[in-house]
Protein backbone atom coordinates (compact mmCIF):
# COMPACT_ATOMS: atom_id res chain seq x y z
CA UNK A 1 0.00 0.00 0.00
CA UNK A 2 1.47 3.33 -1.07
CA UNK A 3 1.03 6.54 0.85
CA UNK A 4 0.29 9.73 -1.01
CA UNK A 5 3.07 12.29 -0.82
CA UNK A 6 1.96 15.59 0.72
CA UNK A 7 1.62 18.46 -1.74
CA UNK A 8 4.08 21.36 -1.77
CA UNK A 9 1.37 23.65 -0.33
CA UNK A 10 0.80 21.23 2.55
CA UNK A 11 4.53 21.03 3.21
CA UNK A 12 4.92 24.82 3.19
CA UNK A 13 2.15 25.23 5.76
CA UNK A 14 3.39 22.21 7.74
CA UNK A 15 -0.11 20.74 7.53
CA UNK A 16 -1.51 23.65 9.56
CA UNK A 17 -4.37 24.90 7.38
CA UNK A 18 -6.44 27.98 8.32
CA UNK A 19 -9.56 25.78 8.85
CA UNK A 20 -11.89 28.61 7.83
CA UNK A 21 -12.85 29.84 4.38
CA UNK A 22 -13.00 33.46 5.53
CA UNK A 23 -9.62 33.17 7.24
CA UNK A 24 -8.13 31.59 4.11
CA UNK A 25 -9.40 34.46 1.95
CA UNK A 26 -8.03 37.03 4.39
CA UNK A 27 -4.60 35.36 4.51
CA UNK A 28 -4.44 35.14 0.71
CA UNK A 29 -5.42 38.81 0.54
CA UNK A 30 -2.62 39.74 2.95
CA UNK A 31 -0.08 37.70 0.96
CA UNK A 32 -1.13 39.31 -2.35
CA UNK A 33 -1.07 42.76 -0.75
CA UNK A 34 2.44 42.32 0.68
CA UNK A 35 3.85 40.62 -2.43
CA UNK A 36 2.52 43.28 -4.80
CA UNK A 37 2.55 46.40 -2.62
CA UNK A 38 5.31 48.22 -4.58
CA UNK A 39 3.37 47.75 -7.83
CA UNK A 40 -0.20 48.03 -6.52
CA UNK A 41 0.18 51.24 -4.48
CA UNK A 42 2.07 54.43 -5.11
CA UNK A 43 3.87 56.57 -2.58
CA UNK A 44 6.49 55.95 0.08
CA UNK A 45 3.94 55.69 2.88
CA UNK A 46 2.13 52.66 1.47
CA UNK A 47 5.42 50.84 0.93
CA UNK A 48 6.56 51.69 4.45
CA UNK A 49 3.29 50.32 5.87
CA UNK A 50 3.75 47.05 3.95
CA UNK A 51 7.36 46.70 5.14
CA UNK A 52 6.34 47.42 8.74
CA UNK A 53 3.69 44.69 8.50
CA UNK A 54 6.32 42.21 7.27
CA UNK A 55 8.67 42.98 10.16
CA UNK A 56 6.04 43.00 12.89
CA UNK A 57 4.55 39.81 11.50
CA UNK A 58 7.80 38.04 12.45
CA UNK A 59 7.99 39.87 15.76
CA UNK A 60 4.40 39.15 16.82
CA UNK A 61 4.51 35.52 15.63
CA UNK A 62 7.73 34.93 17.59
CA UNK A 63 6.02 36.29 20.70
CA UNK A 64 3.02 34.07 20.04
CA UNK A 65 5.42 31.12 19.98
CA UNK A 66 6.43 32.07 23.52
CA UNK A 67 3.10 33.18 24.98
CA UNK A 68 0.47 31.39 22.91
CA UNK A 69 2.18 28.01 22.61
CA UNK A 70 4.31 27.87 25.73
CA UNK A 71 2.36 30.06 28.13
CA UNK A 72 5.39 32.18 29.08
CA UNK A 73 4.74 35.90 29.64
CA UNK A 74 7.84 37.89 28.79
CA UNK A 75 8.31 41.67 28.81
CA UNK A 76 11.77 41.49 27.20
CA UNK A 77 10.70 40.66 23.67
CA UNK A 78 11.16 44.23 22.44
CA UNK A 79 14.66 44.14 23.95
CA UNK A 80 15.71 41.30 21.64
CA UNK A 81 14.11 43.19 18.75
CA UNK A 82 16.24 46.19 19.71
CA UNK A 83 19.40 44.06 19.98
CA UNK A 84 18.92 42.95 16.37
CA UNK A 85 18.35 46.49 15.14
CA UNK A 86 21.23 48.03 17.10
CA UNK A 87 23.58 45.17 16.23
CA UNK A 88 23.21 45.87 12.52
CA UNK A 89 23.25 49.65 13.00
CA UNK A 90 26.44 49.70 15.08
CA UNK A 91 28.26 47.27 12.77
CA UNK A 92 27.39 49.23 9.62
CA UNK A 93 28.19 52.56 11.31
CA UNK A 94 31.58 51.40 12.59
CA UNK A 95 32.69 49.08 9.77
CA UNK A 96 31.09 50.82 6.81
CA UNK A 97 28.28 49.92 4.39
CA UNK A 98 29.30 46.40 3.35
CA UNK A 99 27.63 42.98 3.28
CA UNK A 100 30.27 41.63 5.64
CA UNK A 101 29.48 44.33 8.20
CA UNK A 102 25.77 43.53 7.86
CA UNK A 103 26.48 39.83 8.41
CA UNK A 104 28.76 40.53 11.39
CA UNK A 105 26.19 42.80 13.03
CA UNK A 106 23.32 40.36 12.48
CA UNK A 107 25.37 37.36 13.64
CA UNK A 108 26.62 39.11 16.78
CA UNK A 109 23.10 40.31 17.64
CA UNK A 110 21.61 36.83 17.19
CA UNK A 111 24.33 35.25 19.35
CA UNK A 112 23.89 37.89 22.08
CA UNK A 113 20.10 37.44 22.04
CA UNK A 114 20.39 33.65 22.38
CA UNK A 115 22.88 33.87 25.25
CA UNK A 116 20.95 36.57 27.09
CA UNK A 117 17.64 34.71 26.69
CA UNK A 118 19.27 31.53 28.01
CA UNK A 119 20.72 33.32 31.05
CA UNK A 120 17.40 35.00 31.88
CA UNK A 121 15.55 31.70 31.53
CA UNK A 122 18.06 29.74 33.61
CA UNK A 123 17.74 32.25 36.43
CA UNK A 124 13.97 32.60 36.51
CA UNK A 125 12.12 29.80 34.68
CA UNK A 126 12.60 27.35 37.54
CA UNK A 127 10.25 29.36 39.74
CA UNK A 128 6.77 30.90 39.45
CA UNK A 129 5.77 32.48 36.15
CA UNK A 130 5.28 35.93 37.70
CA UNK A 131 8.91 35.93 38.81
CA UNK A 132 10.01 35.27 35.24
CA UNK A 133 7.81 38.11 33.95
CA UNK A 134 9.21 40.54 36.51
CA UNK A 135 12.76 39.47 35.72
CA UNK A 136 12.27 40.11 32.00
CA UNK A 137 10.73 43.50 32.77
CA UNK A 138 13.72 44.46 34.93
CA UNK A 139 16.25 43.31 32.33
CA UNK A 140 14.41 45.11 29.53
CA UNK A 141 14.29 48.33 31.57
CA UNK A 142 18.01 48.08 32.31
CA UNK A 143 18.77 47.51 28.63
CA UNK A 144 16.69 50.57 27.63
CA UNK A 145 18.61 52.69 30.14
CA UNK A 146 21.90 51.33 28.78
CA UNK A 147 20.92 52.25 25.22
CA UNK A 148 20.21 55.83 26.34
CA UNK A 149 23.48 56.12 28.30
CA UNK A 150 25.91 54.72 25.71
CA UNK A 151 25.54 57.70 23.39
CA UNK A 152 28.93 57.16 21.68
CA UNK A 153 27.80 53.71 20.51
CA UNK A 154 24.01 53.84 20.22
CA UNK A 155 23.45 57.55 19.61
CA UNK A 156 21.39 57.90 22.80
CA UNK A 157 18.01 59.61 22.43
CA UNK A 158 18.79 60.61 18.84
CA UNK A 159 19.37 57.06 17.70
CA UNK A 160 21.81 56.02 15.02
CA UNK A 161 21.74 56.57 11.25
CA UNK A 162 23.87 54.37 9.02
CA UNK A 163 24.43 53.47 5.39
CA UNK A 164 23.60 50.17 3.70
CA UNK A 165 25.42 48.41 0.85
CA UNK A 166 24.93 50.36 -2.38
CA UNK A 167 22.53 47.83 -3.92
CA UNK A 168 20.04 48.53 -1.11
CA UNK A 169 20.17 52.34 -1.32
CA UNK A 170 17.33 54.36 -2.91
CA UNK A 171 19.71 55.85 -5.50
CA UNK A 172 20.62 52.44 -6.94
CA UNK A 173 18.88 51.41 -10.19
CA UNK A 174 18.94 47.75 -11.18
CA UNK A 175 17.42 48.51 -14.59
CA UNK A 176 17.06 51.80 -16.41
CA UNK A 177 13.65 50.76 -17.69
CA UNK A 178 10.66 50.59 -15.35
CA UNK A 179 8.74 47.40 -14.62
CA UNK A 180 4.94 47.87 -14.69
CA UNK A 181 5.46 51.59 -14.17
CA UNK A 182 7.74 51.13 -11.15
CA UNK A 183 11.48 51.80 -11.05
CA UNK A 184 13.56 48.88 -9.74
CA UNK A 185 15.56 50.82 -7.15
CA UNK A 186 17.53 49.77 -4.11
CA UNK A 187 14.53 50.68 -1.96
CA UNK A 188 12.42 48.17 -3.86
CA UNK A 189 15.12 45.52 -3.45
CA UNK A 190 15.26 46.30 0.28
CA UNK A 191 11.52 45.77 0.51
CA UNK A 192 11.60 42.38 -1.19
CA UNK A 193 14.56 41.35 0.97
CA UNK A 194 12.43 42.13 4.03
CA UNK A 195 9.35 40.48 2.51
CA UNK A 196 10.97 37.17 1.56
CA UNK A 197 12.95 36.92 4.81
CA UNK A 198 9.75 37.54 6.80
CA UNK A 199 7.87 34.92 4.76
CA UNK A 200 10.59 32.32 5.30
CA UNK A 201 10.79 33.04 9.03
CA UNK A 202 7.01 32.75 9.37
CA UNK A 203 6.97 29.42 7.53
CA UNK A 204 9.80 28.27 9.82
CA UNK A 205 7.69 29.13 12.86
CA UNK A 206 4.74 27.23 11.40
CA UNK A 207 7.05 24.23 11.04
CA UNK A 208 8.21 24.56 14.65
CA UNK A 209 4.75 24.77 16.23
CA UNK A 210 3.45 21.84 14.16
CA UNK A 211 6.40 19.61 14.99
CA UNK A 212 6.71 17.24 17.94
CA UNK A 213 8.48 20.07 19.75
CA UNK A 214 5.49 22.37 19.28
CA UNK A 215 3.05 19.72 20.52
CA UNK A 216 5.11 19.29 23.67
CA UNK A 217 5.07 23.05 24.23
CA UNK A 218 1.27 23.02 24.04
CA UNK A 219 1.16 20.14 26.51
CA UNK A 220 3.39 22.08 28.91
CA UNK A 221 1.15 25.14 28.55
CA UNK A 222 -1.98 23.12 29.38
CA UNK A 223 -0.55 21.08 32.25
CA UNK A 224 3.15 21.29 33.04
CA UNK A 225 2.93 18.75 35.87
CA UNK A 226 1.36 16.11 33.60
CA UNK A 227 3.92 16.76 30.83
CA UNK A 228 6.70 16.29 33.38
CA UNK A 229 5.07 13.13 34.72
CA UNK A 230 4.99 11.41 31.32
CA UNK A 231 8.70 11.95 30.82
CA UNK A 232 9.23 15.32 29.13
CA UNK A 233 11.94 17.57 30.55
CA UNK A 234 9.78 20.66 30.61
CA UNK A 235 12.54 23.05 31.66
CA UNK A 236 14.62 22.08 28.63
CA UNK A 237 11.69 22.66 26.28
CA UNK A 238 10.88 26.02 27.83
CA UNK A 239 14.53 27.10 27.64
CA UNK A 240 14.65 26.16 23.96
CA UNK A 241 11.40 27.98 23.20
CA UNK A 242 12.64 31.06 25.04
CA UNK A 243 15.92 31.17 23.09
CA UNK A 244 14.23 30.47 19.74
CA UNK A 245 11.68 33.22 20.32
CA UNK A 246 14.44 35.68 21.24
CA UNK A 247 16.47 34.85 18.12
CA UNK A 248 13.43 35.31 15.87
CA UNK A 249 12.65 38.67 17.51
CA UNK A 250 16.26 39.65 16.91
CA UNK A 251 15.89 38.74 13.21
CA UNK A 252 12.84 41.03 13.06
CA UNK A 253 15.00 43.84 14.46
CA UNK A 254 17.63 43.21 11.80
CA UNK A 255 15.00 43.47 9.06
CA UNK A 256 13.58 46.70 10.50
CA UNK A 257 17.05 48.26 10.66
CA UNK A 258 17.71 47.29 7.03
CA UNK A 259 14.44 48.86 5.97
CA UNK A 260 14.62 52.11 7.95
CA UNK A 261 18.40 52.68 7.84
CA UNK A 262 17.91 54.12 11.33
CA UNK A 263 17.44 52.80 14.86
CA UNK A 264 16.31 54.68 17.94
CA UNK A 265 15.11 53.82 21.45
CA UNK A 266 11.49 54.82 20.78
CA UNK A 267 11.18 52.60 17.70
CA UNK A 268 12.87 49.50 19.17
CA UNK A 269 13.34 49.08 22.92
CA UNK A 270 10.57 51.24 24.40
CA UNK A 271 7.86 49.60 26.50
CA UNK A 272 5.27 50.88 24.00
CA UNK A 273 6.67 48.48 21.40
CA UNK A 274 6.25 45.61 23.86
CA UNK A 275 2.63 46.55 24.54
CA UNK A 276 1.93 46.81 20.81
CA UNK A 277 3.29 43.29 20.25
CA UNK A 278 1.09 41.91 23.02
CA UNK A 279 -1.96 43.71 21.65
CA UNK A 280 -1.35 42.39 18.12
CA UNK A 281 -1.18 38.80 19.38
CA UNK A 282 -4.27 39.08 21.59
CA UNK A 283 -6.40 40.70 18.86
CA UNK A 284 -5.42 38.13 16.24
CA UNK A 285 -5.68 35.14 18.55
CA UNK A 286 -3.06 33.51 20.76
CA UNK A 287 -1.67 30.12 19.92
CA UNK A 288 -2.61 30.21 16.23
CA UNK A 289 0.28 31.89 14.34
CA UNK A 290 -2.25 33.08 11.76
CA UNK A 291 -3.64 35.33 14.47
CA UNK A 292 -0.35 37.23 14.49
CA UNK A 293 -0.80 37.95 10.77
CA UNK A 294 -4.28 39.46 11.15
CA UNK A 295 -3.41 41.26 14.38
CA UNK A 296 -0.38 42.95 12.82
CA UNK A 297 -2.21 43.95 9.63
CA UNK A 298 -5.13 45.48 11.53
CA UNK A 299 -2.90 47.26 14.04
CA UNK A 300 -0.39 48.73 11.56
CA UNK A 301 -3.02 49.85 9.04
CA UNK A 302 -5.15 51.41 11.78
CA UNK A 303 -2.13 53.17 13.27
CA UNK A 304 -1.14 54.66 9.90
CA UNK A 305 -4.49 55.44 8.29
CA UNK A 306 -7.07 56.05 11.01
CA UNK A 307 -6.03 59.70 11.28
CA UNK A 308 -6.45 60.18 7.51
CA UNK A 309 -9.89 58.57 7.65
CA UNK A 310 -10.96 60.76 10.56
CA UNK A 311 -9.85 63.87 8.70
CA UNK A 312 -12.06 63.00 5.71
CA UNK A 313 -14.97 62.14 7.99
CA UNK A 314 -14.58 65.34 9.99
CA UNK A 315 -14.65 67.45 6.81
CA UNK A 316 -17.80 65.70 5.60
CA UNK A 317 -19.50 66.45 8.95
CA UNK A 318 -18.49 70.11 9.09
CA UNK A 319 -22.16 71.16 9.22
CA UNK A 320 -22.66 69.16 12.41
CA UNK A 321 -20.14 70.78 14.71
CA UNK A 322 -20.44 68.27 17.56
CA UNK A 323 -19.73 65.28 15.31
CA UNK A 324 -17.02 67.16 13.47
CA UNK A 325 -15.23 67.78 16.77
CA UNK A 326 -15.80 64.18 17.89
CA UNK A 327 -14.16 62.83 14.73
CA UNK A 328 -11.39 65.44 14.59
CA UNK A 329 -8.04 63.92 13.53
CA UNK A 330 -6.43 65.09 16.78
CA UNK A 331 -8.66 62.57 18.59
CA UNK A 332 -7.33 59.60 16.61
CA UNK A 333 -5.83 57.96 19.71
CA UNK A 334 -9.30 57.87 21.30
CA UNK A 335 -10.73 55.99 18.31
CA UNK A 336 -7.61 53.89 17.97
CA UNK A 337 -8.04 52.67 21.54
CA UNK A 338 -11.79 52.22 21.13
CA UNK A 339 -11.32 49.94 18.12
CA UNK A 340 -9.05 47.60 20.03
CA UNK A 341 -11.14 47.59 23.20
CA UNK A 342 -14.14 46.52 21.08
CA UNK A 343 -12.01 43.94 19.28
CA UNK A 344 -10.95 42.29 22.53
CA UNK A 345 -14.53 42.48 23.89
CA UNK A 346 -16.26 40.94 20.87
CA UNK A 347 -13.44 38.52 19.99
CA UNK A 348 -12.22 37.13 23.33
CA UNK A 349 -10.50 34.21 21.56
CA UNK A 350 -9.08 36.52 18.89
CA UNK A 351 -10.17 37.08 15.32
CA UNK A 352 -8.86 33.69 14.20
CA UNK A 353 -10.76 31.95 17.01
CA UNK A 354 -13.97 33.75 16.01
CA UNK A 355 -13.55 32.88 12.33
CA UNK A 356 -13.00 29.23 13.16
CA UNK A 357 -16.07 29.32 15.38
CA UNK A 358 -18.12 30.68 12.46
CA UNK A 359 -16.73 27.85 10.33
CA UNK A 360 -17.95 25.23 12.79
CA UNK A 361 -21.38 26.89 13.10
CA UNK A 362 -22.19 28.10 9.60
CA UNK A 363 -19.54 26.47 7.39
CA UNK A 364 -17.93 29.80 6.49
Query: Where do the domains of the chain lie?
Result: 43-288
pLDDT given at position 350:
85
Task: Assign domain 43-288 to a CATH class.
Answer: mainly alpha
Mean pLDDT of 138-146: 91
> What's the pTM?
0.91
Mean local confidence (pLDDT), 27-35: 94
What's the sign of the alpha-carbon dihedral 243, 205, 215, 66?
A: positive
**pLDDT above 60 for 354:** yes
Mean pLDDT computed over 309-322: 78
What share of the chain has pLDDT > 90, as a percent? 39
- pLDDT grade for 9, boundaries at 50, 70 and 90: low
Residue 1 has pLDDT above 60, yes or no: no
Give, rounded to a whole angstrom, the gap between the first and last alpha carbons of the chain: 35
DSSP string, 192-256: HHHHHHHHHHHHHHHHHHTSHHHHHHHHHHH-HHHHHHTT--HHHHHHHHHHHHHHHHHHHHHHH
- What average pLDDT is seen over the chain? 86
Residue 308 — very low, low, confident or very high, per pLDDT cuts 50/70/90? confident
- pLDDT value at residue 247: 96
Amino acid sequence: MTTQKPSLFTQLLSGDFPRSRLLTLLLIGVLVYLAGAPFLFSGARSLNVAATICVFLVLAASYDLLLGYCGIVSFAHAMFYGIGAYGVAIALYKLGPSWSALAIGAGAAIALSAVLALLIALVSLRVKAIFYSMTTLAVASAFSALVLRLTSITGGDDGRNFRLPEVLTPGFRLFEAELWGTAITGKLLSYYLVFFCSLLLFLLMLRVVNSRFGRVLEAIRENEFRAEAIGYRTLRYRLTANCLSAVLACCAGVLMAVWLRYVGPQTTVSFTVMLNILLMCVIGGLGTMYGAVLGVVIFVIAENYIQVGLQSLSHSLVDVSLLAKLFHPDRWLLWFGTIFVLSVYFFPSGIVGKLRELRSRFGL
